[in-house]
Amino acid sequence: MMVSRHIDGDDNAEMYTIGADYDLETDRLPWEAAGWWEEFTIAGLLLDLVDDDADYAIRGSGLTGVSILEVTVDKESSGTIVSGIISNASPLVVRNADVTIHYLNDAVEIIGTQVTRALPEVITPTRDGTFYAAPPAGLDVSQATAVLGGVAKSDDDDVSIDLLHLMSIITEYQRPNTNGEQGVSTVAELHDALVNSNFSGSTTGSGLIEITANLIDDIFIDHGFFADLDGDKQYDPAVDGEVGISSYPVTQLGETSYSGLYPDRTQMPTTTRSSK
């Protein structure tokens, strides 16, 4: 994402395409899609640490002669996929067409918005393109609409750390209980490195709010990284344990039930997904 944003100049670098477009600015959770989303969750957490409103201010506009033919919502056990077709009836080649998708509930109310990009990147005259998007887990999408062009959005948190500063925090972290080994290797270590960093004099992208441990905690909680001791997938400080732990509530997959997993922060995980 950072290469796309800072080197390629991609205004939509937070959109990750793999089968569908996944908006990593939305707070993905590690238990989405039976745990297959955790890489996206960590990527989104890292994005939230460095981004600010200015990163999302520039978006494409609608295109003359290009129209949306259909929008389809497919609900599967692993998650919901929204797809659609756009048609280029103009005499011009269309490049990198953005599509804004509105997710609707049963009452036809907009409950979420996502910008995705049509494929292929180049759509010649008389040709069609397709677009895909995956709504965040927990969003009860009944139908969807789409319009051409993108919309500006705001950063959803109050933290913006300089990218090079974040990289130095990650690489220079002194791992506990080791012989001087450096570098963050787990989500829990990333949390420790951040809350123990000196952000004195540093502010968010708005320049108004000092970066504190509580703001760092909020980002980890929003991404589901906490010891979910009661298994309800909601953070309750009166019930749940440490923030930063990559824990897993009880999960039912078909006829198989998997017990909850609460890693010991003092142990270096080697087989759990939190070791990514």
Residue pLDDT, tens place only, 155-190: 778 888 989 999 999 999 998 877 888 999 888 899
User: What is the phi/psi pair of residue 159, to 5°?
Assistant: -125, 135
pLDDT of 274 higher than 50: no
Question: What Cα–Cα distance (Å) separates residue 201 from each residue in 180, 204, 211?
Answer: 29, 10, 9
Average of per-residue pLDDT values in the chain = 82
User: What is the DSSP secondary structure assignment for residue 121, as one 8-state letter?
Assistant: S
141 and 204 together in one domain:
no
- Among 169, 86, 101, smallest CA distance to 134 is for 101
Domain-terminating residue out of 112, 127, 148 = 148
Domain that holds residue 79: 66-148
82 and 144 together in one domain:
yes
Query: Distance between CA atoms of 229 and 235, rounded to whole angstroms?
Result: 9
199 occurs within a structural domain? yes
11 and 75 together in one domain:
no
DSSP, residue by residue, 51-72: --GGGGS------TTEEEEEEE
267 and 176 together in one domain:
yes
pTM of the model: 0.67
166 and 130 together in one domain:
no
37 and 168 together in one domain:
yes
Those residues whose C-beta lies under 8 Å from the C-beta of residue 169, and which sit 6 or more positions away, are: 161, 184, 193, 194, 197
Percent of the chain scored above 90 by pLDDT? 35
Kindly report, residue by residue over 253-270, the tens digit of the pLDDT. Answer: 778 877 666 665 544 443
Q: Can you say whether the dihedral through the CA atoms of 150, 156, 162, 167 is positive or negative?
A: negative
Which token pair is 89? Answer: 């009836």
127 and 218 together in one domain:
no
CATH of the domain at 114: 2.60.40.3230
- Three-state DSSP class for 264? coil
